[in-house]
Structure 1
Amino acid sequence: MSAPLPLSAERGFTFDAWMVLESYPSGDEKPVDEQIPASIAQQASKGRGFDLFIDPFGRWGMKVATDNGMVEVVAPSRFPLYGWTRVSASYDPASGQASLYLDGREIARSPGRRPARFRPANTVFQIAHSFRAAPLLVFNINGLNAAYDEVRVFDDAVAIDAGPARRGPLPSAAESLRVPTSRFASDLQRPSYHAMPQANWTNEPHGLVRRGDTWHMFYQRTPNGPFKTMMAWGHLKSDDLVHWTDLPIALYPELQTPTFGFDMKGIWSGDVVNGPGGLGLAFYTSVNYSPNLFNPGISMAISEDPDLIRWKKVGPLLDRTGVADFRDPYVWFEGTTAHMIVGAALGGSGGLAYYRCDNLADRACWKRQPAFAPFAKMDVGSDIWEMPVFEKIAADRYILVANPIGGAVGKYTTPATRGVYWVGTWNGKTFRPLDPKPRVLDVLPGHLSPTIERDKDGRITAVGIVDERRAPQAQLRAGWAHTFSLPRLWRLLPDGRTLGQSPVPALAALRDPATAIATRVSGAGDVAVGDLGRAVEIDATFEGPSPAGRFGLTIARSADGREATRILYDPATREIVLDKRQSTLGGDQEGPQLLRGAYDVAAFGEPRRFHVFVDHSVVDVFVNDAAAFSFRTYPSLADASRFGVTATAPVTAQVKAWRMNAAPIR
């Protein structure tokens, strides 16, 4: 927001406003002295004007250009978050002093009392926008997430009193920070019933944890824009895994000294567990710029809050001694013993570092253990594993999930970046896979890094990330990036070595019964079924003997057929085929448009039921309530919302479908 503002060199100025700040501004992942702060308000150019600045660690103050040089005043404590605050600042040329105020009380004053004329800038006055850009790829990263009210600038150094100085009551801080639905109302690609932040960038969910009837999910977040830098931990909660409420940021980078903080570069992924005495325990990867001080490190934070909103950082627990690199701790308890596995680079392969602790009250209790599993035989040619998960899945079986990256693994290569898993046995010290060759978590790549927790019935529930497959410029235009998968239930299939996945039943609550379709269709080619918009659930069961040719569903099809996405099974090759070659007329989509993935008929059964959830650009597919995959597709035509059955030879299918109601983040 900009406005012309004539200011006097002799009289100075006073800034006064009410604001509520959701998060500190993003910074590039660089040391403190290389950061470019954001601006609460400024009218500045090089060597002129004033800048009421704030940096990525919440440190704030004001710089004022004068005839005697730059005058700077710095606040003694970090700027408050999530609450309305009256912010005031002034410069008086008669005394040469700059002052800062919070809620009408002076909190800092520049040193010295030497008169000096103010040097106004010949630019516009702006709020929430720095006069110095902080470029990162196609983005400018030093913006603010804030709400302002009653912004006033006086053309002299007026007195700031301690009164409220308001004309009326303020709305709640949460409502003021809420992103209005109108912002994305015309966005054809933004999901409406998948969990995701209100705006900006997200990545892996982690620390899915249930406390009574409430689920909490923590996740990677950049709160200031659709870009990855200096990550924080976002926080969502839900009573049903379908409707989610946005909560304040749980953890964000901080400094312990003016130039150093053990997690100053970012709060990377980790895990949250229910600890002894009802404590919430967060374990996370902390990164900084030191060559030897826990960089990276595994750090811990503790919450005594039943709602897991307030956290106290304990500090680093582990460094990467003994491994080339590591990240993403996963923690579980067996009796009073805590176990931790951490995704690691072992030099010759990806794998895990394994630790145990018998006394959580002692930060030094974590001790490195012998090899958790035979990683050299299990790896797929990666440099490092990320986001491990380990859980008992049957009476005598455990499942280990990891996401190998680097080395021979790439986003669009073979092997591709994706979740893989092993089923095996666990004797309390060593995991032994039934087969060292990993199985793929999803039939096709597109979904990865699930976080898990058990529901009240003991069933394993998992939520992963379905990442973007479009260019950064498209993400900048959109104002958001990435979404979470729909929650899935995990189970071990009858063969004792294959993971089965199905959608959580609670998703049925989103169905609009007035739009229900139930029909039987037959034919070959593209057989139209209906059009229920861009948010739809489709449940198709193919009848009779196995069809002779390829068969499946067409989704996101335009009326003229120029855009369509096809999900098929090819019985000749026993592969699931995702055909996105006609999925969009736009130019934003990245990656291969024709994907094939082996389908295990022995484990999953002959494919008959295709249960598909379409939510604008994200699609979750379940075959026989056993095999699963998720992907992104970006149709550009407004009417690309039709669906139907498709086959190269005649087929018959029973099809049910519903329009899905939106489940916006509250």
Structure 2
Amino acid sequence: MAANIACAQPSLQTTLPTPLLSLDFNQLAQGRLPAGVAIHTQFRAPDVVPGVAGSAWRSDGFSSYAQAELKLDPKAGFGLSLWVALESYPSDLEVPVRELSPSSIIQQAKGQEGFDLHIDTFGRWGFRIGSSEGLLQVSAPQRFPLRRWVHLVVSVDPAAGTAQLYLDNVLLGTASAKPGMSLRLADVPMKLATPAVEARILDFKVNRLNGAFDEVEVYPTPLSSAQIHTLPGPAAPPDAERSLVVPDSRFAGDPLRPRVHPMPSANWTNEPHGLIRVGDTWHLFYQRTPNGPFKTQMHWGHMASRDLVRWEHLPDALWPELQSADAGFDMKGIWSGHVITDGGRAFAFYTSVNHGDRLAASNPGVSMAVSEDPELRHWRKLGPVLNTEGLRDFRDPFLWKEGETWHMLIGAALESGGGLQHYVLDRGSERPRWRPQRFIDTAWRQLDIGSDIWEMPVFEQLDGSTWVLVANPIGGKVGKYAEPATRAVYWIGSWTNGVFKPFFRAPKPLDLLPGHLAPTVARAADGELRAIGIVDERRTPTAQLRAGWAHTFSLPRRWTLLPDQRTLGQSPAPELHALRGEPLLMPPATDGDVPMLAKDLHAYELQVDLDNDAPVTLDLMASADGREFTRLRFDPVDGTVEFDKTHASLSGEDEGPLLLSGRYDSAAFGPMRKLCVFVDGSVIDVFINDAAAYSLRSYPSLTDSTRLRLSTARPAHPRLQIWPLRPPH
């Protein structure tokens, strides 16, 4: 039935009937709920957050939902009232609009029977209910509000043949049918935050809701407009931001979750990008699925920091949207890009994807958004600026300004394999446009390593006319667990007269071992570069689902040009010193195994100063009984580093090779004398001589796998220091 958008007619009836169901979640922290009500979650307990009156329940977006037994009268109708604050719209499969599987705020539905207060991944929402006259449907005229508490009311009156939908006491629409109809109800439980029909990616349920719920009441009769205005509610709008914070309790029992690495508060993340310092604040944008530990319909997440170690989680900057009834230039995802400032405004350039023609304005394309907000919280999309004409594919723009000219590099799939496409902004015409231009003094195929496409390019000045070009080749012969491996690579070269001339053709690996990639880079107040990349998962999707989060970012690194003028140096960012607690007292180092660290230290920094070229072995994340340990080997003479996970975990959930080895170039990095190792949950960051680096993941299963041992192959007396790491207050 069509909806009739009309004003509600006032009624003299103001007394509310006794509700059939009343759920306020105030006793949830004590594990108490009314009879017949249950909350399902994969975590140890449901999330409890501040609500509109007392406490509210916080859904996680993928594993949790609430369920209640509810019996309605098909002739009497009902009234429904609840408060909701959504962090994001539900996820879905990356499919055209007609194939979407909407989620539900609250529903008691099966097929065409029952009722459903539904919402889809683009924020389109409404109410429908089955009746003897067919399906009654009310569609809301505006997108559902995000990140604020809203009051929703539904009133279904079979005698009048109407179903009405209210938002914050304002009637949005009425669906009308034959008076005296009866409702076709579903003989299933009523549920919150999950739809009757779920969409899946592998074992992940992807279209549940991520938000806070409070004050749910179901009445045995319809509600008049006068009654609706007397429903209890807060005197002032409550702060939804407090309610949408993921409580620490959700991951309190997870020893593998990092505590001092920058990362989202929950769910899936991928490449960071758009690292930028505005005033004294760093902003980091990143790929994000806000609703679960799975990848679909990417958003741009947003974090901010004053010191690169304490990060504030901010609302998502960008997310997929429609510009018409069934199409949008970024409806399939907001992929990686870059953020710049110019003329007092910030501009986001991002990869926008949809379901249209490849050569259309945006499939894929580069689109632009602008922010005039000093905190970069609010963005306005300006639309596509480039398409892939002349290329097989492209993604991930990176921009820099030289003089008055803006340049853009984009990772590309060329006819010969992976490479880059270079554009300059031509302001000479009536409408500025990005014009392709030569970038490098050689053919891209001479630099490629057999990939299909390059991603996440970075081009930064190191010293005078010396620049570094970083890219992440993927596909083709390159694979996550293959050789050549998916990893960031770089070239050092000169940039003169608009042409990059690399000093060498074969790319150098950014890290000694694969595990960290796609860094985003910006300059600190000291003028030096800081870089943050992703340290991706090396465990099964089932393990990621069980954890409820996936991927983390690296600790910030400092990039410098080493003395040979051909090598990029990486050292821990000096800002990381703020994480150090009081140093631990170390026993004297002796030959052989040295027990150094008791259990229960979740995050720490270890510094080892070597006094000779004796090979060194570090067993990290080691259990007391010796069944689990993750082994790092350093051989200064052979110039090798090894990462051995043969005994790292008894869980059987590791993915990829258990043994990795890499070359250490002492001519470029200097003799191997200083080892700096950060351990934080499942992440290990290694720096050698403040010049070479790599980051890895390991997943011990025993609760006491927090010990550390050091051994040397021949007499040596390394000096050891350990600092516990804690987020500064």
1:344 matched residue in structure 2: 412
CA distance in 1, matches of 2:287, 2:306: 21
1:418 matched residue in structure 2: 487
- The within-5 A match list for 1:195-234 is 195-234=262-301
- The within-5 A match list for 1:2-41 is 2-41=67-106
State the Cα distance separating 1:534 from its structure 2 match: 2.0
State the Cα distance separating 1:651 from its structure 2 match: 2.1
2:558 matched residue in structure 1: 489
1:602 matched residue in structure 2: 667
CA distance in 2, matches of 1:605, 1:379: 28
1:521 maps onto 2:589 in alignment: yes
Among 606, 616, 621, the residue aligned to 2:686: 621
CA distance in 1, matches of 2:134, 2:115: 12
Among 441, 455, 459, the residue aligned to 1:386: 455
Q: Deviations over 1:253-275 (max 9, x none)?
A: 00011100000000000001112
1:583 maps onto 2:652 in alignment: no
1:244 maps onto 2:311 in alignment: yes
Deviates more, 1:584-593 or 1:531-540: 531-540
Question: In structure 2, do the counterparts of structure 1 residues 112 and 364 end up closer, same or farther at CA, with 3 Å as the change threshold?
Answer: farther
- The within-5 A match list for 1:538-617 is 538-543=606-611, 545-547=612-614, 550-571=615-636, 573-617=638-682
CA distance in 2, matches of 1:233, 1:473: 25
Secondary structure of the residue aligned to 1:521 is coil
1:178 maps onto 2:245 in alignment: yes
State the Cα distance separating 1:605 from its structure 2 match: 1.2
CA distance in 2, matches of 1:38, 1:364: 42
Q: 2:368·2:384 contact (CA, 8 Å) conserved in 1?
A: yes
1:284 matched residue in structure 2: 350
Among 543, 552, 561, the residue aligned to 1:474: 543
1:55 maps onto 2:120 in alignment: yes
Amino acid at match of 1:621: V
1:498 matched residue in structure 2: 567
Q: 1:195·1:244 contact (CA, 8 Å) conserved in 2?
A: yes
State the Cα distance separating 1:522 from its structure 2 match: 2.3
Amino acid at match of 2:408: M
2:323 matched residue in structure 1: 256
1:129 matched residue in structure 2: 194
Secondary structure of the residue aligned to 1:305 is coil
Q: 2:83·2:214 contact (CA, 8 Å) conserved in 1?
A: yes
Secondary structure of the residue aligned to 1:431 is strand
1:297 maps onto 2:362 in alignment: no
- The within-5 A match list for 1:133-152 is 133-152=198-217
Secondary structure of the residue aligned to 1:465 is strand
Amino acid at match of 2:349: F
1:331 maps onto 2:399 in alignment: yes
1:438 maps onto 2:507 in alignment: yes
TM-score (norm 2): 0.88
Secondary structure of the residue aligned to 1:366 is strand
CA distance in 2, matches of 1:636, 1:272: 40
Question: In structure 2, do the counterparts of structure 1 residues 83 and 596 end up closer, same or farther at CA, with 3 Å as the change threshold?
Answer: same
1:511 maps onto 2:580 in alignment: yes
2:466 matched residue in structure 1: 397
Q: Deviations over 1:395-450 (max 9, x none)?
A: 12000000000000000011000000000011242211000110000000000000
Question: In structure 2, do the counterparts of structure 1 residues 288 and 111 end up closer, same or farther at CA, with 3 Å as the change threshold?
Answer: farther
Amino acid at match of 2:560: R
Amino acid at match of 1:521: A
**Which blocks of at least 5 consecutive residues in structure 2 are unaligned?**
1-65
Secondary structure of the residue aligned to 2:577 is helix
Amino acid at match of 2:680: D
Q: 1:352·1:372 contact (CA, 8 Å) conserved in 2?
A: no
CA distance in 2, matches of 1:369, 1:101: 55
Question: In structure 2, do the counterparts of structure 1 residues 323 and 372 end up closer, same or farther at CA, with 3 Å as the change threshold?
Answer: farther
2:182 matched residue in structure 1: 117
Aligned residues: 658
Amino acid at match of 1:208: L
1:322 maps onto 2:387 in alignment: no
State the Cα distance separating 1:89 from its structure 2 match: 1.8
CA distance in 1, matches of 2:176, 2:272: 47
Secondary structure of the residue aligned to 1:619 is strand
Q: 2:586·2:596 contact (CA, 8 Å) conserved in 1?
A: no
CA distance in 2, matches of 1:223, 1:8: 38
CA distance in 2, matches of 1:363, 1:585: 61
Question: In structure 2, do the counterparts of structure 1 residues 362 and 58 end up closer, same or farther at CA, with 3 Å as the change threshold?
Answer: farther
Q: 2:516·2:694 contact (CA, 8 Å) conserved in 1?
A: yes
Q: 2:613·2:635 contact (CA, 8 Å) conserved in 1?
A: no
Q: 2:285·2:301 contact (CA, 8 Å) conserved in 1?
A: yes
Q: 2:570·2:691 contact (CA, 8 Å) conserved in 1?
A: yes
Deviates more, 1:366-375 or 1:636-645: 366-375
CA distance in 2, matches of 1:472, 1:95: 51
Question: In structure 2, do the counterparts of structure 1 residues 275 and 517 end up closer, same or farther at CA, with 3 Å as the change threshold?
Answer: farther
State the Cα distance separating 1:164 from its structure 2 match: 6.8
State the Cα distance separating 1:155 from its structure 2 match: 2.0
Q: Deviations over 1:50-107 (max 9, x none)?
A: 0100000000001111111111111001000111111112222123222211100101
Amino acid at match of 1:279: R
CA distance in 1, matches of 2:589, 2:324: 68
2:532 matched residue in structure 1: 463
Q: 2:112·2:130 contact (CA, 8 Å) conserved in 1?
A: yes
2:697 matched residue in structure 1: 632
Question: In structure 2, do the counterparts of structure 1 residues 360 and 89 end up closer, same or farther at CA, with 3 Å as the change threshold?
Answer: farther
State the Cα distance separating 1:372 from its structure 2 match: 3.8
Secondary structure of the residue aligned to 1:179 is coil
State the Cα distance separating 1:516 from its structure 2 match: 2.3
State the Cα distance separating 1:113 from its structure 2 match: 5.5
Question: In structure 2, do the counterparts of structure 1 residues 572 and 425 end up closer, same or farther at CA, with 3 Å as the change threshold?
Answer: same
CA RMSD of aligned residues (A): 1.7
Q: Deviations over 1:144-198 (max 9, x none)?
A: 1111110111122112434673166665211101111111111121011111111
Q: 1:188·1:636 contact (CA, 8 Å) conserved in 2?
A: no
Question: In structure 2, do the counterparts of structure 1 residues 540 and 316 end up closer, same or farther at CA, with 3 Å as the change threshold?
Answer: same
Amino acid at match of 2:524: D
Q: 2:136·2:177 contact (CA, 8 Å) conserved in 1?
A: no
CA distance in 2, matches of 1:418, 1:589: 19
Among 255, 261, 276, the residue aligned to 1:188: 255
CA distance in 2, matches of 1:662, 1:426: 40
TM-score (norm 1): 0.96
Amino acid at match of 2:515: G
Secondary structure of the residue aligned to 1:500 is strand
* Bigger share in strand: 1
Deviates more, 1:299-308 or 1:103-112: 103-112
CA distance in 2, matches of 1:135, 1:509: 42
Among 157, 161, 166, the residue aligned to 1:96: 161
2:496 matched residue in structure 1: 427
Deviates more, 1:203-212 or 1:11-20: 11-20
Secondary structure of the residue aligned to 1:255 is coil
State the Cα distance separating 1:518 from its structure 2 match: 4.3
Secondary structure of the residue aligned to 1:651 is coil
Secondary structure of the residue aligned to 2:232 is coil
CA distance in 1, matches of 2:179, 2:477: 64
Deviates more, 1:1-10 or 1:364-373: 364-373
Q: Deviations over 1:298-353 (max 9, x none)?
A: 00000000000000000000000111100000011112211000000001110001
1:655 maps onto 2:723 in alignment: no
